[in-house]
């Protein structure tokens, strides 16, 4: 007599180590990029808003503000672009948070949890996909900036360095968005929560006005703002007017300050977001 023994299949163990985590993250990144192409309005609306900011600020406020002793509208447009670039990459935070909150509400996280994959890959894949979309937006924004009179005066290598700092800042802020998306119940709440704190961060800065024109008590806040460091670094690397003269260390060493701020934000908020993800899916 032959005895049949049923053996329950075992789920494959997740690949360990950094290589496995990177591979899993890239798979999730691909999934999110495919999803974006199937919902093109997400990309289109993400492009329209910053373009509107450039056009409105350039032609409404251009000539009304004194930039480096000049009220020439062209000077303000060149002053403006670094701030608009930085604002655009940081506003992608809301999209990152809403996307993660949407996945959580639909139970997609539970499906990922059943797969043999690194726990942090879901969040890393999402933030990398948002970085790709942000890069596309920055490219389009640069073209629009050139059309309205913005120019690069320090050469292509320094300009590429400025764009790298911008994208690093955007990637850092997307981890803040990831944490917000994991902490709320709906995508709508994630969008609101992702934007409400960004307005003071972007406007209490050197993005649109010289901090020297601000009240004395708020000026140090603007000068030590991570957002301001990136804007200052971009103006220096682009060779645009409006570089702030200040004794504050971030304003004197903006490239290093921007790099350090972004790396610190990534280290802190990635740790918090992954921990939150693990507890939420436990």
pLDDT tens digits, residue range 266-277? Answer: 999 999 998 888
User: What is the reported pLDDT for 7?
Assistant: 42
pLDDT < 50 regions, the chain: 1-13
User: What is the reported pLDDT for 194?
Assistant: 79
User: What is the reported pLDDT for 15?
Assistant: 54
Calpha distance 188→97 (Å, rounded):
10
User: What is the reported pLDDT for 69?
Assistant: 60
| Buried b / exposed e along 231-255 (16+ C-beta atoms within 10 A) | bbbbbbbbbbbbbbebebebbeebb
Residue among 179, 201, 203, 202 nearest 190 (CA): 179
User: What is the reported pLDDT for 266?
Assistant: 96
Q: What are the strands, taking DSSP E only, across the chain?
A: none
């Amino acid at each position: 007599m032959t005895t049949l023994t049923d053996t329950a299949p075992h789920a494959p163990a997740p690949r360990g180590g950094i290589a496995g985590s990177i591979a899993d993250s890239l798979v999730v990144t691909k999934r999110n990029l495919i999803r974006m192409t199937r919902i093109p309005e997400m990309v289109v609306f993400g492009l329209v808003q910053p373009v509107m900011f450039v056009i409105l600020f350039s032609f409404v406020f251009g000539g009304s503000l004194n930039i480096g002793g000049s009220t020439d509208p062209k000077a303000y447009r060149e002053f403006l672009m670094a701030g608009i670039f930085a604002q655009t990459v940081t506003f992608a935070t809301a999209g990152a948070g809403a996307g993660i909150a949407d996945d959580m509400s639909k139970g997609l996280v539970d499906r990922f949890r059943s797969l043999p994959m690194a726990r942090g890959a879901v969040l890393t894949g999402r933030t990398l996909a948002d970085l790709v979309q942000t890069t596309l937006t920055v490219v389009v924004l640069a073209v629009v900036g050139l059309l309205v009179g913005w120019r690069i005066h320090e050469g292509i290598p320094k300009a590429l360095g400025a764009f790298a700092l911008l994208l690093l800042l955007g990637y850092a802020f997307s981890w803040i968005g990831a944490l917000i998306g994991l902490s709320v119940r709906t995508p709508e709440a994630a969008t609101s929560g992702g934007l409400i704190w960004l307005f003071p961060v972007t406007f209490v800065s050197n993005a649109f006005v010289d901090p020297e024109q601000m009240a004395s008590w708020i000026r140090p806040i603007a000068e030590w703002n991570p957002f301001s460091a990136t804007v200052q670094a971009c103006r220096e690397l682009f060779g645009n007017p409006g570089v702030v003269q200040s004794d504050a260390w971030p304003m004197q060493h903006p490239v290093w300050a921007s790099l350090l701020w972004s790396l610190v934000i990534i280290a802190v908020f990635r740790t918090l977001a992954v921990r939150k993800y693990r507890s939420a899916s436990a």
